[in-house]
């Protein structure tokens, strides 16, 4: 089990794996108290800093709506081959899952 806690999040328990066989973890957001699921790789590389609540006001609204409707999601979702100018990793604001499988991606106010 991934035993991790910092100023931003605390890993609570294993939540299965996604369609790319990457481990997902249920976490507690220390900013707002929400429970969310994210990939282990985004925890290890420091990309997960919250459930999504520390972003723009509208991203906070999207997070709230997803949580209120019990929709499984991850924030700052990326793919290994999704690169921008200079090779920098690009991320979608939200990835929506249905029965553990990636269903939709949401990018709010981005290119």
pLDDT at residue 37 in the model: 92
pLDDT at residue 97 in the model: 93
Round to whole Å and give the CA distance between 28 and 35: 5
pLDDT at residue 55 in the model: 64
Task: Flag whether 16 is in a domain.
Answer: yes
Task: Flag whether 4 is in a domain.
Answer: no
> Which domain, by its residues, includes 98?
9-106
Q: What residues in the chain have per-residue pLDDT under 70? A: 1-2, 54-57, 110-111
Task: Flag whether 111 is in a domain.
Answer: no
Spacing of C-alpha 61 from chain mean position: 15
pTM: 0.51
């Amino acid at each position: 089990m991934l035993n991790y806690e910092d100023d931003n999040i605390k890993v609570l328990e294993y939540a299965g794996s996604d369609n790319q066989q990457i481990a997902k973890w249920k976490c507690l957001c220390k900013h707002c108290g929400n429970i969310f699921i994210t990939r282990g790789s985004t925890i290890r590389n420091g990309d997960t800093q919250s459930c999504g609540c520390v972003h723009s006001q509208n991203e906070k609204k999207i997070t709230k709506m997803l949580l209120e409707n019990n929709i499984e999601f991850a924030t700052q979702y990326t793919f290994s081959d999704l690169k921008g100018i200079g090779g920098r990793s690009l991320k979608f604001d939200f990835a929506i899952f249905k029965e553990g499988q990636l269903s939709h991606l949401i990018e709010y106010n981005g290119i």
